[in-house]
Amino acid sequence: MVVSTPENAPWLVVGLGNPGPEYAMNRHNVGFMAVDLLAERIGGKFKRAGKAQAQVLEGRIGPVGPAGRRVILAKPMSFMNLSGGPVNALRDFYKVPLSQVVAVHDELDIDYGALRLKLGGGDNGHNGLKSMTKAMGADYHRVRFGIGRPPGRMQVADFVLKDFASAERKELGYFVDRAADAAECLVIEGLERAQSAYNS
């Protein structure tokens, strides 16, 4: 039996969101958007993962050939507030250390389009992170994509489940591209390098 170590284990890059076309362009689904873009770059298609309630794609990012980092891209299909079960099932199946799990998610307390990367920490009321932390602990990486706070008296739950505004959509592709770049940099070059390049 091969024991999985950080040297030979894959990275698990999880986009957080809600399944279904009605949620596809919601602010809460920006994690799905970034992971979809990573899948395009790898050149593969997501498939249903065995017993885990998720879609996955296995591939490599970084240098071509064996020097590339093995990654599992994943989108939980359980709805946001139950993300932890599918993610933990994938982590067990692929023997991924918790320190090599990356969650890409929306973040209310960061201005729209800004990124912040970190390891561990609280969930800041984010139900996807809350579920992941409950299932496996908090010491995983996060790529936090700023969506800003709701305007006026709009409830947070309503705000995150609305599509990006038309003015926001003009730059959304660029910002999602940067989030995908940041996740790649984190996996290939490490957290410190990714923070210095992408934290804003």
Which is it for strands 141-146 and 69-76: parallel, antiparallel or unpaired?
A: unpaired
Choice among 28, 105, 126, 141 that is catalytic:
28
Residue 28 is a catalytic residue: yes
Residues that are catalytic:
28
